[in-house]
Structure 1
Amino acid sequence: MTESRLVRQFAHALRHERERAGLTQQALAARAGLSQAAIARIERGDRLPSLTTAERLLTALDRQLRVEVEPLDSHLDAALDETAGVDLAERLDHLGLDRLLTALGDLPYVLTGSTAAVLQGAPIPVEAVEIAARWRDSPAFAAFLERTHAQRWNARWEEWGGVRHEPEEPGAHRWRTRHGELRARMVEELPAPIEVRLGGRTYPVEPLVQVEVTDRRAADLLRRHRQRLAADAAGGSAG
């Protein structure tokens, strides 16, 4: 799947409007003069249609395309503003961080992504507990998923369940457990962690400088956070 935000947004919008209209992909394809395979690729986010094709698809759904512009990084600003002023302990409890890590038991892991960034003081949003886990530990990982009645994210249908939850099976490494959502980056070897102590517990986390290399969304949020800090500082100096 492409990393383009516009591709993801159009994919979500098209599927939402198709399902609202009660149409299958095949039925929409017939109306728009496209193949079902083309519709499936667009809804998966594998491709962004041309404007002409996008208009044909939406017209077939009795909808029209509207193009708007917004200041650069507005979506990042909105995400950062959502977490402003929220206590860190409250955010981590909402994630189920300690509950999930306790449930992992002896499974080797390192916290990564936005989870690692937050534990190192970065005030950015985090949607799930994110870890790195080794491929060779997949059997133990699968046993944990079984114990916690996990459902795996089905990227094709954008819902939980309907796919095998074992890490070695193809699909997004993202699960909903009874303790909270867990996302994994499966690796041959765990990244070298640093230890962060918080609330009487020590967490193995991926260093922030490495997070910015391995996690694009976290890197974008950290970049925008620094830009806002710099802008605020410049404004204060000017005043």
Structure 2
Amino acid sequence: MESSTRLGGEVGRLLRQERELRRLTQRDLAMATGIAQTTVARVESGHRGAALPLVERLFAALGRQLVVGVEDIGEDVDRQIAQLATSGIDDRLLDTDVERFRRHIDGISYVFDGPTAALLQGAPVPAPGVHVALLWSEADHITEWLTGRYASRWMDRWQEYRHIPVDPREPYPHRWQTIAGEIHARMCDELPESIDVRHGDRHYPVVPLAELAIADPGVARLLDRHRAGRGGQPAPGRAG
């Protein structure tokens, strides 16, 4: 099985789901299969392509097997959007790292960006990780904060997180895995203009949805897919 953010993530999600249904820990599954717990964790995180025999071995220990099929590109995204559209914003946030990020962030200026900002404004779009805009002028503080949260950094070449320098000034993607969740950063000289979105007693500074739809092609495509799924109704924040 080749490294693939989408496919690897789907396999990891299914494995974690089946394991938790049986009330097993990653350590339990590792012991049952003779596979290192760290390997089980990496497969479940979707950050490492795993060989098919290894994946089959993990599922077999749970009494399950994978079924391979094909579908049109984007159908999986459409299913996620349709499922998210049936739930409220609080339920949607349960499947993200947004609250964990808010609890851990301290003294760093940020604005929620990308699909995270869209989700916080009510758009039922998939938002893996936490997407934020950060300031270059706070690079030292960001590095210190990441180091204190045991951050590892995403490497496109290997399609996984590795323990390499986390300073945003280093020539690597601004994407980190931390105890505060998975963070995707857009480094800026100035933070983008934001609005304050409230959910209950919680406040979220976010890039306005209309601005996201113009500036972020990925978010624009997600909003268009949502609009298409609503029978051609205009998507939130976009002109019809």
Task: For structure 2, list consecutive stretches of 5 or more residues without a partner in the other structure.
Answer: 7-47, 54-69, 235-240
Contact between 2:134 and 2:185, CA under 8 Å: does it hold in 1?
yes
Q: Is residue 208 of structure 1 aligned with residue 209 of structure 2?
A: yes
SS for the counterpart of 1:95 is coil
SS for the counterpart of 2:176 is strand
Contact between 1:116 and 1:205, CA under 8 Å: does it hold in 2?
yes
Contact between 1:134 and 1:188, CA under 8 Å: does it hold in 2?
yes
* More displaced stretch, 222-231 vs 195-204: 222-231
1:144 and 1:16 map into 2 onto residues whose CA distance is 29
**Identity over aligned residues, as a percent?**
34
User: Could you tell me which residue of structure 1 aligns to residue 98 of structure 2?
Assistant: 97
Contact between 2:85 and 2:124, CA under 8 Å: does it hold in 1?
yes
* More displaced stretch, 210-219 vs 86-95: 86-95
Q: 1:96 to 1:8 in 2, by over 3 A?
A: closer
Contact between 2:151 and 2:163, CA under 8 Å: does it hold in 1?
no
Which aligned pairs between 1:141-152 and structure 2 lie closer than 5 A? 141-152=142-153
Deviations 1:7-38 (A, max 9, x none): 998xxxxx969x779xxxxxxxxxxxxxxxxx
Contact between 1:176 and 1:182, CA under 8 Å: does it hold in 2?
yes
Amino acid in the other structure paired with 1:178: I
For this pair of structures, how many residues does the alignment match? 179
TM-score (norm 1): 0.64
2:194 and 2:233 map into 1 onto residues whose CA distance is 32
Contact between 2:89 and 2:122, CA under 8 Å: does it hold in 1?
no
TM-score (norm 2): 0.64
Which aligned pairs between 1:41-80 and structure 2 lie closer than 5 A? 70=72, 73-80=74-81
User: Could you tell me which residue of structure 2 aligns to residue 227 of structure 1?
Assistant: 228
Q: Is residue 155 of structure 1 aligned with residue 156 of structure 2?
A: yes
User: Could you tell me which residue of structure 2 aligns to residue 109 of structure 1?
Assistant: 110
User: Could you tell me which residue of structure 1 aligns to residue 195 of structure 2?
Assistant: 194
* More displaced stretch, 142-151 vs 89-98: 89-98
SS for the counterpart of 2:104 is helix
SS for the counterpart of 1:195 is strand
2:122 and 2:143 map into 1 onto residues whose CA distance is 31
1:158 and 1:176 map into 2 onto residues whose CA distance is 13
SS for the counterpart of 2:142 is helix
Deviations 1:123-167 (A, max 9, x none): 111101110001111111111101111111111111111421111
Q: 1:69 to 1:94 in 2, by over 3 A?
A: closer
Query: Which structure's CA Rg is the greater one?
Result: 1
Which protein is richer in helix relative to its size?
1
Q: 1:156 to 1:107 in 2, by over 3 A?
A: same
Contact between 1:113 and 1:214, CA under 8 Å: does it hold in 2?
no
SS for the counterpart of 1:230 is coil
Q: Is residue 172 of structure 1 aligned with residue 179 of structure 2?
A: no
Root mean square deviation of aligned Cα? 3.2
